[in-house]
Amino acid sequence: MKFAKLLQQILQEDGVPPEWVEKAIQYKALKKRINRVVEELENVGLKRENMSFTYEIEQIQHQLRPQLTTDVSQELEQVVISRLNDMDYSFSVVQKEGDGSVLTVSLHEDTLFFQTLYEELEELKRFGEEQEHELVNTVENLATVIGKVGSPNTRKNDMYVWREIFQMYIESEVFFSTRERSSGRVDVAVSRKRLSDFVAHVNETKVLKRLRQRNSLAAFATFKEMNFLIIKVANYQAINSMAVQKILKKFDKQTTLNSLKLFPDVVKKSFEANILNSTVYKDVCAVIGERLLSIVPQLDDYTCPICCTVAFKPIRLDCGHLFCVRCLVKLQRKEEDKCPLCRQQVVLHADERNLDVAQMAYLKLYFPQEVKQKQREDEKEIFKEQYGHIVDPDKPTCTIV
């Protein structure tokens, strides 16, 4: 399939709004411009056969000025110079020792082609920034709403449900992989599939039915839509940069000029960013991580590295590492002085002064269920230690025979 058609099809299939289509790289129109450059080369007598060009693109503020340099024979020189003069081109000719000279010229159609492409990219960059800005705004708004409905200080809050939702979302690795060998940004199609799977998973677990706050359900809908929009924007950016690559390749093939090596660098320098590389994943996802997912802390970040349950009551050793009091007491009983994480000798002299009071209050607030459960287990364990040889706390104390 021709790329122009493929481009149109992709934009259509993705349900891209008309405004986006308008702002996309105008591949078809640019293709026509290439034909005009070819015609122009012929008109001025610089036919592409058996000629080799050196090509440069100079930039003065927002104006691009491509220049080509080539050796011309004495015979050709007369023809070319008279045509260039007739058609009002600016050029320079330097006589070479011996036969012929070196001609440097800026062609009109050539200039127009690159100027058009450049301005389309400029527009696209502005549009991309707008889209990212809107997405970031959505994240901020969601952060405010979920910050409220998911706050432990709100009565009948949805903290646990949001934690579950975000946990599923993080595990889905919609935009970035950490598990696979090829870790890093994932392909647009993969992202879309993973996002759909995440939504299906949320629905299967019926977790949304447990939401109690009125704004929570709407916030989830917005969260879902926003993620699909990120994928759409990323896809749109990727398609456009593909279109630029394709059009430059086509240009080079038809004109024998060498733009594919030059133009991306000009763009990069000029925009002070590689806009031919989609940035929306990186930028917006960073904001989602920092502003949204962190609102509801995840248990994984607050577990004791030994027993893997919530680190309550948290003992912070002098080395800075933190363990639950039960695990620490067990270490001390074994007279183990080395911190299991960094091997510093800090365990034995730890006492109640090492209790991290602020962290304890935090855990009580954000993980009340886990903390209660842990306390029950601790009590059971202590009971077992004291009376374990007489009774088992898990079994009824009297049995009827």
Tokens (6 digits) for 45: 């007598």
CB burial string 48-69: b at 16+ within 10 A, e below:
eeeeebebebeeeeeebebbbe
State the CB neighbour count (10 A cutoff) for residue 190. 16
Of the listed pieces 124-132, 230-238, 278-286, 306-314, which binds Zn ion according to CB under 5 A?
A: 306-314
Measured from the CB atom, is 291 or 321 closer to Zn ion? 321
3-state secondary structure of 324: strand
Query: Which residues touch 65 (CB under 8 Å, ≥6 apart)?
Result: 57, 58, 59, 106, 111
- Contact (CB, 8 A) for 284 and 132: yes
Write down the least CB distance from residue 167 to Zn ion, Å. Answer: 21
Reported in sequence order, the residue ranges of 302-363 that DSSP labels E, i.e. its strands, are: 314-316, 322-324
SS3 of 282-314 = HHHHHHHHHHHHCCCCCHHHHECCCCCCECCCE
**Whole-angstrom distance, CA of residue 35 vs CA of residue 253:** 11
Number of residues that bind Zn ion (CB under 5 A): 10
- Angle at alpha carbon of residue 189, lines to 143 and 290, rounded to 5°: 20
Beta bridge pairs of residue 255: none
Write down the least CB distance from residue 351 to Zn ion, Å. Answer: 16
Write down the least CB distance from residue 215 to Zn ion, Å. Answer: 37
Measured from the CB atom, is 200 or 342 closer to Zn ion? 342
Beta bridge pairs of residue 59: 64
Write down the least CB distance from residue 339 to Zn ion, Å. Answer: 3
Of these, 76, 304, 315, 331, which contacts Zn ion (CB under 5 A)? 304
Of the listed pieces 40-48, 172-180, 233-241, 304-312, which binds Zn ion according to CB under 5 A?
A: 304-312
Measured from the CB atom, is 51 or 319 closer to Zn ion? 319
Of these, 307, 355, 360, 382, which contacts Zn ion (CB under 5 A)? 307
Site string for Zn ion, 309-328 (x = CB under 5 A): ----------x-x--x--x-
329 contacts Zn ion (rule: CB under 5 A): no
- Contact (CB, 8 A) for 176 and 185: yes
Write down the least CB distance from residue 361 to Zn ion, Å. Answer: 19
Of these, 38, 306, 360, 365, which contacts Zn ion (CB under 5 A)? 306
Write down the least CB distance from residue 306 to Zn ion, Å. Answer: 4
Beta pairing class for 63-72 and 101-105 = antiparallel
37: left (phi over 0), alpha (psi -120 to 50) or beta: alpha
Write down the least CB distance from residue 322 to Zn ion, Å. Answer: 9
Measured from the CB atom, is 146 or 339 closer to Zn ion? 339
Of the listed pieces 40-48, 147-155, 191-199, 303-311, which binds Zn ion according to CB under 5 A?
A: 303-311
Measured from the CB atom, is 114 or 302 closer to Zn ion? 302
- Contact (CB, 8 A) for 32 and 236: no
Measured from the CB atom, is 117 or 324 closer to Zn ion? 324
Write down the least CB distance from residue 377 to Zn ion, Å. Answer: 10
- Contact (CB, 8 A) for 274 and 268: yes
List the interface residues with Zn ion, window 334-373 (CB under 5 A): 339, 341-342
Chain residues binding Zn ion by CB under 5 A are 304, 306-307, 319, 321, 324, 327, 339, 341-342
